[in-house]
Structure 1
Amino acid sequence: MKKRCMHYTFHHGGAVKGANKDLQQIQAALQTGNLETVDYWTKKLSYHLSSHILHSIFWTNLTNKKNDPTGNLLKRIERDFGSYDKLKGYLSKISKDVDGNGWGILGYQPYTDKLTLLQCENHEKLTQWGVIPLLVIDVWEHAYYLKFKNKRNDFVDNLFNIINWGIVAQRLDIALKLS
């Protein structure tokens, strides 16, 4: 629990504090009409708010029991990736191979009505407009260094044992209703 608390409090909490500060700075610039720094604070907000959103999804994607996708989610996985094992292999590979820090993301792309995978460096880079994240894998070093040291691959492999596919399925149902 202590490891998760550090991750949650220090890293995720830092993103929340950062986003709040960024918003305050943007608001101050708008109120004074001095827009010299607004570009800087907008970029910082993108970084911090993306971190907050992805961490918020990450926490709910975890459970203490192994389960597999079922129902409509499984049907879409099979349609878009061929099988659950192929999705797992693909998502695992892109998560392990993120350059530096970032995320592996399973998302729903409403424009194509398909599930898609993203390899996201940092928080705000390499996205597809309109993709709704359903499952995220945090491969920033802070997510795994206490338990797995520098072994990102082991962390990703072990994470599949505690993914809450029921929550992922709920996110897909919501995404389908929104599109």
Structure 2
Amino acid sequence: MLSTRALSASKQLSRKVSVLGAVRAKHTVPDLDYDYNELEPVISAKIMQLHHDKHHATYVANLNAAEEKLQEAQAKNNVAAQVAVQPAINFNGGGHVNHSIFWKNLIGEKNGGGHLHDGALKTAIEQQYGSLDSLTKAVNGKTAGIFGSGWGWLTFNKALGHLDVIATANQDMPSSVGHVPLLGVDAWEHAYYLDYNNVKAEYFKNIWRVINWKDVAKRYDNAVAEHKASKN
């Protein structure tokens, strides 16, 4: 089986487009740090390939198209067209950002998936939630309560200066409500249906086996550092 690096190498080329004389870089689908089958049996290779190469790629393509329309509208000083394209930018931009975080949040069990190491994040989780098990229940409960499609998140709440558990609808980003995303659980059907059918609770339960806590901890450390710097 070819690695995802080889399969998606062509997507990683930084392409440029010219729109009314201006040049900007197009968004691209980020490469995975692992092969499609590394997350099995929690998430199948088939889902990973479809999710990464089809669904995420569609968000990226639509975001690039929407930004080109926006740039054209700005060049023509067409305010109505600028307003009209904004929902597409928000939705597809959110899809791109949320999935880019999601891929980094995952890693195979054989490579450390599911293991929370000692450190600032573990201490914060235990202080606020009592244990990792209690945190997972809080995230799963919030995620299961999503009506329709969306995301469950462990975040850093910038206003309160500590961890928080929230859910966002569709492809809304935690940053839109003042939160720094640390860990996202994709609750869209395309993330689990081929493996779990309509039993999404099993998907929410099993995904913790492949969480890359090193990545989550790094995001937490960065969020705390930025928060402290903003207070000085």
Q: TM-score range by the shorter chain?
A: over 0.9
- State the distance in 1 between where 2:108 and 2:174 align: 31
- Is residue 67 of structure 1 aligned with residue 111 of structure 2? no
CA offsets, 1:94-142, max 9 Å, x none? Answer: 1122110110011111221110111111012786632110000001000
Q: Tell me which residue corresponds to 1:156.
A: 204
User: What 5-or-longer segments of structure 1 have no aligned partner?
Assistant: none
Cα displacement (A) at 1:45: 0.6
Q: Residues 47 and 192 of structure 2 are in contact (CA less than 8 Å); yes or no, is this contact kept in structure 1?
A: no
Worse-superposed segment, 168-177 or 60-69: 60-69
- State the distance in 2 between where 1:14 and 1:98 align: 23
Q: Which has more radius of gyration?
A: 2
Q: Looking at both structures, which has the greater relative contact order when contacts are Cα pairs under 8 Å and sequence separation is at least 6? A: 1
1:56 pairs with one of 74, 95, 100: 100
- State the distance in 2 between where 1:105 and 1:127 align: 11
- Secondary structure of 2:80 counterpart: coil
1:35 pairs with one of 79, 82, 86: 79
Q: Residues 118 and 127 of structure 1 are in contact (CA less than 8 Å); yes or no, is this contact kept in structure 2?
A: no
1:166 pairs with one of 206, 209, 214: 214
1:45-124 matches, cutoff 5 A: 45-65=89-109, 66-124=114-172
Q: Residues 92 and 157 of structure 1 are in contact (CA less than 8 Å); yes or no, is this contact kept in structure 2?
A: yes
- State the distance in 2 between where 1:88 and 1:138 align: 14
- What is the RMSD of the two structures over their aligned residues, measured on CA atoms? 1.6
Q: Residues 174 and 180 of structure 2 are in contact (CA less than 8 Å); yes or no, is this contact kept in structure 1?
A: no
Name the % identity. 30
Aligned length: 179
- State the distance in 2 between where 1:117 and 1:70 align: 21
Amino acid at match of 2:177: W
- Secondary structure of 2:209 counterpart: coil
Amino acid at match of 2:127: R
